[in-house]
Amino acid sequence: MRWFEYLLRRLIMAVFVLISVSIITFFIARVIPSDPAAAWVGTHPTREQIAEARQELGLDRPLWEQYWRYASSLVKGDFGTSIQSHQPILSDLRAYLPATMELVLAAMLIAIVIGIPLGVLSGARKGSLLDHSTRLVSIAGVSIPTFWLGLLLQLLFFSRLGLLPLGGRISNQVALNNPVHTLTGFYLIDTALTGNWIAFKDALIHIILPAFTLATYAIGLAIRMTRSSMYEVLGENYILAARVAGIRERVVLFVLALKNAIIPTITVLGLAFVYSLTGAILVEVIFSWPGLGTYVTNAVLSIDFPVIVTVTLVVTVFYVLVNLLLDLVQAALDPRVSLG
């Protein structure tokens, strides 16, 4: 019953958050000095065409009525139509969102594989050369501007070394000769499921640079949080008893100690996941990644307010759901956490 009441309370709060965000973004988009009707018609529109477009888009109605129509459509699963592409926004999301999710999940995987082990070793060897080096890496990870790091990696691995592609999700030649048959929208998964290993390899080398660029912030957070938690846990009596009993050090560190030290890190990485959804915008522009970031960037440049509002809501939904999931996981792993 306690879990049910907590979920119900959080879901009600989530609804209020989504309504508030939709209202704020909707009215901000409407007060921007632009004419969506003219953008809808195209280049060199006449006054008659603009007037017809305003009526078609409902821009001739009061703001409260425009929002009510928009909110009613959202409840029905209709996100509206893009002013730029004249396509349903829902179909655009199906095309762009999987690319962003694949990039963000790859970045989180890199952060987990690199950040947590380094944090464990750094916490276990406080004051050592490894500890100082790891702390330097963590500080650099959270401090280096994403755009600068992305350009630097392009200069090094593409221009100088010629090891990795400059950008894109897959090369044009591979897309023509070994096209990806879309099942999930995740190229690495789709190519593996269909046995298209040439396209799989090409998609893999294309995702390395943008995923690593996006992961640096999360790596820094994972190192710092894991190191801090490990240092506290390693002083507990059960860790001392395990070492006296002769249990292998790697078992003590990566099983016994990490089990309790990982809880704060999970919370930080969950928030970093949501942050990466917005941080991916800049990374996708730098690496020409055809994802949600590129989509919303073009929408901002063309004042495509239905897309801007919808993408904002999508990110908000992810933020609310991830926060709820983190609270539940933390309560499940740590009995001291109350759901009251």
User: In terms of domains, do 202 and 287 share one?
Assistant: yes
Confidence (pLDDT) at 208: 95
Residues in the chain: 340
**Residue 258: which CATH number?**
1.10.3720.10
Q: At what angle do helices 197-233 and 89-124 cross, to 10 degrees?
A: 40
Do 137 and 49 share a structural domain?
no
187 in a structural domain: yes
Please indicate, yes or no, if residue 88 is contained in any of the structural domains: no
How many Å apart are CA 159 and CA 258, to the nearest integer? 41
The answer to whether residues 59 and 122 belong to one domain is no
Cβ neighbour number for residue 320 with a 10 Å cutoff = 19
Confirm if 256 and 225 have CB atoms less than 8 A apart: no
Cα distance between the two ends of the chain: 11
Residue 275 burial (C-beta neighbours within 10 Å; 0-12, 13-18, 19+): middle
Indicate the angle between helix axes 146-154 and 258-286, nearest 10 degrees. Answer: 70
Query: 52: buried, middle or exposed (CB in 10 Å: 19+, 13-18, 0-12)?
Result: middle
Residue 49 Cα to chain centre, angstroms: 39
Q: According to the model, what pLDDT value does residue 69 have?
A: 81
Q: pLDDT in tens for each of the 340 residues of the chain?
A: 566 777 778 788 888 888 888 888 877 777 766 667 666 776 666 777 777 777 776 766 777 777 888 788 877 877 888 877 778 888 888 889 999 999 999 999 999 999 999 999 888 888 888 888 998 989 988 888 888 899 999 999 999 998 999 889 999 999 999 999 988 989 999 999 999 999 999 999 999 999 999 999 999 999 999 988 888 888 888 888 888 888 888 888 888 888 888 888 888 888 888 888 888 888 998 999 998 888 888 888 777 888 888 888 888 888 888 887 877 777 676 665 555 5
Reference 22, options 76, 62, 79; nearest CA is 79
Residues 221 and 253 in one domain: yes
**Same-domain status, 42 and 172:** no
Report yes or no: 269 and 218 within 8 Å, Cβ to Cβ. Answer: yes
282: tokens are 């800049």
Last residue of a domain, one of 75, 106, 134: 75
Q: What is the pLDDT of residue 307?
A: 86
pTM of the predicted model, to two decimals? 0.85
Residues 70 and 99 both lie in one domain: no
139 and 201: one domain?
yes
State how far the Cα of 95 lies from the Cα of 226, in Å rounded to an integer.
Answer: 36
pLDDT at site 81: 81
Separation of CA 97 from chain center: 10
Query: Rg of the chain over CA atoms, in angstroms?
Result: 24
The pLDDT of residue 265 is 86
Per the structure, the count of domains in the chain is 2
Distance from C-alpha of 107 to C-alpha of 100, rounded to nearest angstrom: 11
Residues 105, 34 share a domain: no
Contacts of residue 175, defined as CB under 8 A and 6 or more positions apart, other chains included, come to 199
175 and 35, same structural domain?
no
Structural domain includes residue 85 = no
Residues 194 and 293 occupy one common structural domain: yes
CB-based contacts of 22, cutoff 8 Å, min separation 6: 67, 70, 71, 74, 309, 313
- Residue 98: its pLDDT value, please? 93
Angle (CA) 207-213-217 rounded to 5° is 135
Q: What torsion, rounded to 10 degrees, do the Cα atoms 150, 153, 159, 160 define?
A: 160
Question: Domain residues for 48?
Answer: 2-75
CA distance 246 to 243: 5
Give the model's pLDDT for residue 113. 94
